[in-house]
Each structure stands twice: as C-alpha cells, then as structure tokens.
Amino acid sequence: MAFTKGEYAATFLTFVALLLEIFVLVSGTANKPVLRDLYFARLEYQGKFTNMGLWGSCYGSNGQYDQCSVPTAPFKWPDAEGVDIKVNVDLPNSIYLAILILYWIAFLASALAMQVTVFTYFKRLPSFFAAVASLMATGALFVIWIIVVVAAAKFKSAAEAVGAQGSMGNSCWMVLGAMIASFLATAFYSFICVCRRNKTTQDTFKY
C-alpha cells in the first residue's frame, strides 16, 4: 500500500517523539554511556558533580563518573548523591511524582499512536484515535516541559545560594523536541482523518 507524504511524515514524527521519550525514560538508570549523560539538572560543587535524571542521579568528580544511585520512583532532585552539600529547593515533593506519571502517560500515548500508525494503514477512524493519542502525549509533554524548566531554574538559584553551580540538562531539550514532534504528528494525523477518505480494498490493488 502506497503511503502519501503526509502519512510518512506522521509516522516519522511519531517515531522521533517516541525515540526521544525512550532516551529520557532510561536516563540516570545505570553508570553506562548515554544513560548517565542524560539528565534534567546538574549540580556542581568543589570539583564534584551530580546529574539528575528521571529515575536517579549519576555522579563523580573532575569530569569522571563514579557511579549512579539506585533507581527510585519518584526520584527527588534534592536527594541526589555525590556532592557534599544539601540544596533545598522550594518545590513540593509531589512535583517529582507528577513528572513521572505524566511521562509514562506521554510515552504510552506515543507508543499507542505508533502502533496504530503501523498496523492500520491510515484508515479514517484509526487515524482519529492516533490523533487523540498523539494529542494526549503532546499535552503531557508540554506540562512536563514547563515543570522541569521551572524546577531546573529554581534548582539553579538554590544551588547558587549555597555557593554551588546548577544548570539545566539535555533531557529538558529532549522533552521539548518530543513535544514538538508529537504536536506536528498530531497535525498530520488530524489532516489525514479529516481530509482523506477511507482506503478500500479496491484502492489497495488499484494500479
């Protein structure tokens, strides 16, 4: 079955969003390349550093990683190990649980949209469900993006108040990229659903 450019675009964008979400989903889970290098926020103090991912922190000194913490759900940034300082951030503990729950919603919604894309050949009703799932993922990722940006900014301010350095990590930009890809995929799914008729068996074998 020949796909149109719009269908290819929707599939590609959904795949990109899902791939970026997977990278963030595994951040901070083990002391391995990529896994330890993806994080929402970073704290540096007297040559030591710790990176805070979705599930935990990876830390070390002088640019070398020592180890990562045991994955925790939800992982609270102030509990990060590896630096000899305590940073008190003016954020409710529930915010970290919200990030985790919303992220799973976004990931599962994107996975559902991808499954619908692959197995239904862009018929009208499945395209509607894919659009809804992709829109749900977009909304969840948007909320996550706002939360992590605000949290990272507050964390940076709190770190500077005690003589440390704080910064926003690459996982924040991955969330933004996934959100943009998911939003564009939603637009393509909606266009396919509204503007294109169902394909029939005759269309499939029409030469």
Taking only the tens place, the pLDDT of each residue in 136-169 is 999 999 999 999 999 999 988 988 888 889 899 9
pLDDT, tens digit (0-9, with 9 covering 90-100), for 86-140: 888 878 889 999 999 999 999 999 999 888 877 665 566 777 888 899 999 999 9
The Cβ of residue 25 has, within 10 Å, a number of other Cβ atoms equal to 17
Which residues does residue 41 pair with via DSSP β-bridges, in sequence order?
52, 168
pLDDT score at 86: 81
How does residue 207 score in pLDDT terms, banded at 50, 70 and 90? very low
State how far the Cα of 51 lies from the Cα of 152, in Å rounded to an integer.
12
139 is written with which tokens?
């909304």
Q: What is the CA radius of gyration of the chain?
A: 20
Q: Which helix (H) or strand (E) holds 204?
A: helix 201-204
**Residue 160, number of CB atoms within 10 A of its CB:** 12
